[in-house]
Amino acid sequence: MAAATTRDDDPATPLAPETLCPAVDADAVADAARPRDAAPLLGQDRAVRALDLGTRMRHAGFNVFVLGPEGAGRHSAARRAAEAAARQAPAPDDWCYVHDFETEWKPRALRLPAGRAVPFRDAVEGLIERLRRAIPALFETEDYRERRRHIDEAHEERAEERFRAIRAAAEADGIGIMRTPMGFAFAPIRDGEVVKPDAFAKLPEAERERIQARIAELQERLADFLRGVPEREHAHREEIRALNAEMASTVVDSAIAETRDAFADVPAAIGRLDEIRRDLIDKVELFVAEPVRNEASPFPEAMLPIAEDRRFRRYLVNVVVANGHADGPAAPVVYEDHPTLARLVGRIEHVARMGALETDFSMIRGGALHRANGGFLLIDAHRLLREPWSWEALKRALRSRRVQITSPGEEMSLLSTVSLEPEPIPLDLRVILVGERLIYYLLVELDPEFGELFKVQADFEDSLPRAPDTLSDYAGLVRSVAAGNGLRPPDAAATARAVVEAARMAGDAERLTLNFGAIADLLREADFRAQEAGRDHIADADLCTTIDERTFRADRLRARWHERIARDIVLIDTEGSRVGQINGLSVMQIGGFTFGAPTRITARVRTGGGRVVDIERESKLGGPIHSKGVLILSGYLAATYASGTPMSLWASLVFEQSYGGVEGDSASSAELYALLSALARVPLRQDVAVTGSVNQHGDVQAIGGVNEKIEGFFDICAARGLTGTQGVLIPAANVKHLVLRPRVVDAARAGRFAIWPVRSIDQGIALLAGRPAGARGADGRYPEGSVNAAVEARLTEFARARKAFAAHDGEDEAAESGNDAA
């Protein structure tokens, strides 16, 4: 016999109506329910301290991941924390991209003090605009023309002088120079006439040889003269270039001097101006070329803007980041709502010209990392991870502490043409990712780099404990949520109702939800109801109507399920008693709407090999947690009853008319009750529904969705007519979770419906069977007439039957063997 065990055999008694829903005294919150000035971060001390650390610590890697449920104020809290820290930080430097005169396909990053980039850009643009008009005018002056004419004439004179020398030497020897279509030619001359070939052939041989030798010498001198033409032309151009540079330098230096004075305290700007000066003087011919007119202008003399004139765009400044604004925090706080690769790290734009795509440094556009550099960048984690390459690009930037502009084509190695390669910009910022807990835990588990880059987790609570002080603060927050959304103020009764609904949302009478997004939606709809009623405040009736209407809009499937029960399509009994049959309670969730659905559970038993068959599992409709629950109740049976004999039971358990998956262990106590009823041949009450899980010691454990389960069975009973005997059996541990709707509380107060809490299977079976469960006495036996005694007797009967069957089967086999031997 098994040793005696201690059981809770106290009869289950119905809960008092006041325990079915937490009461909030409207008068108690009337004075406390003033709008709070603080943001709704009640109960989020852990997350607030983490955000404070992450936003103020500047060491690399201490980026923040804000995790928690939707509606808890994660985004707004992160933004407020970032803005508070940004106000204490200096404005970061401005960043620009400029043309590199040495390597044109590698634009250079130019760092300027905060607030100086835009003025510098405008100053450079104004400088080039002035020079575009001043330099061409300079080369139209008489002084320049005279000096240019002198250079040209000197060049021509030097060339002519050398040519005259060759001509004079030839004429002294009686040889003339003639211009032919093929160039220059030498020929002997007599009496001013060119000697004909026939006459030349009649000359003495010595004379002919002398003339031919002299012509050869002259041809060499002429060839040497002609070979020197490119060099002399080059020297000529250099003289002109030197003249142009000399003339331009005076105008350029004069024009730049004013800009230099304005940026004398900015070495980077002075260095860039020096580079521009050198290139302006070296490329002064750009200014004297034919100006590009603006054909769209009504003024024929109007020229294209500097930014559109391709000749001068090389000198401009492309401002990527401009900080130091008078309004807003000193450091930037950027929220990137659409974190694509281009919007995150920047992009290089292109323009189509003559069927080809062109680009230059002026088409570089900064991304969120550029704008947030020196400050804070807030991104929704889910949106970031949905975008191809964005997550890797962000990690790469945080690891290298610089931002490099890349394109999807480069990421996929699809581009083989030469494009721009902008110089990376040093990166110093704090990234705050906001996401659900599942995303955080997946990143921790699957991405080895995540923990090194995001060392701070700001974990937002789902709910906070309900206490007198928090209740007062919460009431104030309800009013502040209404005020912050421009709604009518809720009165004391409506505020109390909202607090009760907050407990309902938390699924716990002793806690209040921190999902202020859901509270705000509730108040918005109640405000509409108040407007329709012509009230200047939100009343309790407005909130009640809102709650009922929201349920009505979402409960089509629940209504169809209840209709099927009412029409006896789905079989659910709400009165009488049956052996091996019980009403279990499950929860269905469709979208954001949750409702309870009663389900008939049945059990059948016979002699067998000690197996409890879970039909849901055998048909592959049962989930692993449900299967675990069935195995636990099997363990309870084997250890509690007839432990001195082999388990000789074959039993089957099933959720009747269940055609979908079954998961969870909240019905394991109901299954056990049905099994005990089938074994003891004791009928169970059908006017009572059951929920709760069970452990191997027979303790009934808490489950989820207790409010929806109770209301689901209540609605079925109410539709058929409340008898006063109906109710629901729940785990005692779930009493603190009860936040039932007024219709259930009112019925309980009128004695027409009951909720019984139980701690053990013995308590539950006693109420369901209407007889004591029974505890083992000193003799190791259960009391006569108890449920447990009947169960143990039936199991012992199965064991004896199995033993007898095995002995009889053995005799038959022996007899058959004897006959075979004979």
Q: What is the mean pLDDT of the chain?
A: 84
Residue 431 has pLDDT above 50, yes or no: yes
Across 591-630, where does the E strand assignment appear? 593-607, 611-614
> Which residues does the annotation mark as catalytic?
666, 709
Looking at residue 537, its amino acid is H
Provide the sign of the torsion angle of the four alpha carbons 472, 477, 482, 486, taken in this order.
Answer: positive
CA distance 14 to 710: 13
User: Rounded to whole angstroms, what are the CA distances from 703 to 115, 490, 587, 664, 735?
Assistant: 60, 34, 11, 9, 11
CA distance 360 to 239: 33
DSSP letters spanning 294-318: -TTSSSTTPBPPGGG-TTTGGG-EE
Which DSSP helix (H) or strand (E) runs through 238?
Answer: helix 229-262
Residue 38 has pLDDT above 50, yes or no: no
Find the range with the poorest average confidence among 227-231, 263-267, 426-430: 227-231
Give tens-digit pLDDT for 47-67. Answer: 999 999 999 988 889 999 999
Say what the pLDDT of residue 373 is: 95
CA distance 597 to 397: 52
Please return the burial class of 204, using the count of CB atoms within 10 Å of its CB with bins 0-12, 13-18 and 19+. exposed
Residue 597 has pLDDT above 70, yes or no: yes
- Which range has the top average pLDDT, 38-47, 478-487, 560-569, 725-734? 725-734
- Residue 493 sits at the vertex; the CA angle it makes with 490 and 497, to the nearest 5 degrees, is 85
Phi, psi angles (nearest 5°) of residue 351? -130, 140
User: Rounded to whole angstroms, what are the CA distances from 469 to 472, 476, 482, 489, 712?
Assistant: 5, 11, 21, 21, 34
Q: How many Cβ atoms sit within 10 Å of the Cβ of residue 359?
A: 14
Provide the sign of the torsion angle of the four alpha carbons 473, 474, 476, 481, taken in this order.
Answer: positive
Quick check: 669 and 632 in contact, CB under 8 A?
A: no
Find the range with the poorest average confidence among 378-387, 412-421, 602-611, 765-774: 412-421
Percent of the chain at pLDDT exceeding 70:
88
> Structure tokens of 314?
């090389």
Residue 2 has pLDDT above 60, yes or no: no
> Structure tokens of 342?
């281009």
Quick check: 497 and 522 in contact, CB under 8 A?
A: no
Indicate the pLDDT class of residue 591, thresholds 50, 70 and 90.
confident
Say what the pLDDT of residue 335 is: 96
Q: How many Cβ atoms sit within 10 Å of the Cβ of residue 129?
A: 16
Nearest by Cα to 114 from 431, 355, 331: 331
Give tens-digit pLDDT for 688-699. Answer: 999 999 998 889
CA distance 162 to 661: 108
Q: Which domains does the chain have, with CATH numbers?
A: 31-37+462-554 (1.10.8.60), 44-73+330-460 (3.40.50.300), 570-797 (3.30.230.10)
CA distance 216 to 196: 18
Q: What is the dihedral angle through the alpha carbons of 230, 236, 242, 244, rounded to the nearest 10 degrees?
A: -110
Residue 6 has pLDDT above 50, yes or no: no
Distance of CA 708 to the CA centre of its chain: 33
CA distance 335 to 31: 38
Percent of the chain at pLDDT exceeding 90:
41
Say what the pLDDT of residue 237 is: 75
CA distance 409 to 416: 9
Segment 371-389 mean pLDDT? 95
Residue 213 has pLDDT above 50, yes or no: yes
State the alpha helices, DSSP H only, in 406-491.
408-411, 437-446, 450-453, 468-484
Residue 622 has pLDDT above 70, yes or no: no
Nearest by Cα to 766 from 20, 17, 7: 7
Looking at residue 133, its amino acid is R
Indicate the pLDDT class of residue 411, thresholds 50, 70 and 90.
low
Say what the pLDDT of residue 301 is: 47
Across 686-735, where does the E strand assignment appear? 688-690, 693-694, 700-701, 727-731
Q: What is the pTM of this model?
A: 0.80
Quick check: 730 and 20 in contact, CB under 8 A?
A: no
CA distance 83 to 620: 54
For 97, half-sphere exposure in the C-beta direction (CA atoms, 13 angstrom radius) is: 26
